[in-house]
Amino acid sequence: MGAKFEIGRIAGLPIFIDVSFIVLVVLWGGQYFTSGSTVLMSMGFLLVVGLTASILIHELAHAVTGHYLGVRPSHVELNGFGGLCYWAGAMPSQAWRRIAIALVGPLANFALYYVFEQLTELSAVQSNRFVLQVTAYLAVANWYFGLFNLFPAFPLDGGRALEALLGTVLSPTTAKLIVGVLGLIAAAYLAYLGLSGSIWLLVVAVMLGLANYDAVQSARRPPWQRWN
């Protein structure tokens, strides 16, 4: 995407922030930051920190699993659509390894959902409306983030896992074509949801649509013309 800068390293792995990440910060915290109330502004700050940490944990789950299953992560990027883990080499050839590397991302979010959900049950948390609201919000956000990433579409984790799974019984081209078509349907569904007023959902739908249209086109092209 746009310009990005390194914000630090975790166990030697560089973490970058792309400027498009500002879109997410505004989306998550905008209404709190402009509320004029100190309480709401600090709530917005905590939500932005909590959601950023959730995305980072999702990407680190990919990176760590990849590291142990045979592909070295090169860096992690936080951007306007969440984040991405980049790899220094080719993905492992065994399907189960690629499936595991893909699925640990959403799994990390479901684990975070469980942790935040358990926190909301604590009486110390329940007696404090402010803390209760933040933890409940982070629980729900992680649940939906995990679900969204399981969509069978490129370049989401669900699409990558399904492509690897289908590739065990079908040719790589057919596997890619099937996920691409499912991805176009998923994009159309998100666009339909976005029409009710979410510009961000519409943008995500367009990005998903383009990525999956590309995948379908490249799968249909003869192998010597294939470039992705």
- For Zn ion, the closer of residues 81 and 116 by Cβ is 81
**Do residues 6 and 74 lie in contact, with contact meaning Cβ atoms separated by under 8 Å?**
no
Judged by CB under 5 A, does residue 157 bind Zn ion?
Answer: yes
- Closest residue (Cβ) to Zn ion? 105
Among 105, 146, 152, 180, indicate the residue that binds Zn ion (CB under 5 A): 105
- Crossing angle of helices 38-69 and 95-121, in 10° steps, is 150
Q: Interface with Zn ion includes 163 (CB under 5 A)? A: no
Kindly state the smallest distance separating residue 45's Cβ from Zn ion, in Å. 25
Q: Is residue 73 close enough to count as binding Zn ion by CB under 5 A?
A: no
Nearest CA to 151 out of 143, 139, 162 is that of 162
Of the two residues 62 and 176, which places its CB atom closer to Zn ion in the complex? 62
Sign for the pseudo-dihedral over CA of 200, 205, 208, 211: negative
Whether the Cβ atoms of residue 13 and residue 63 lie closer than 8 Å to each other: yes
Letters for 106-145 (x = contact with Zn ion by CB under 5 A, - = none) are: ----------------------------------------
Length of the chain: 228
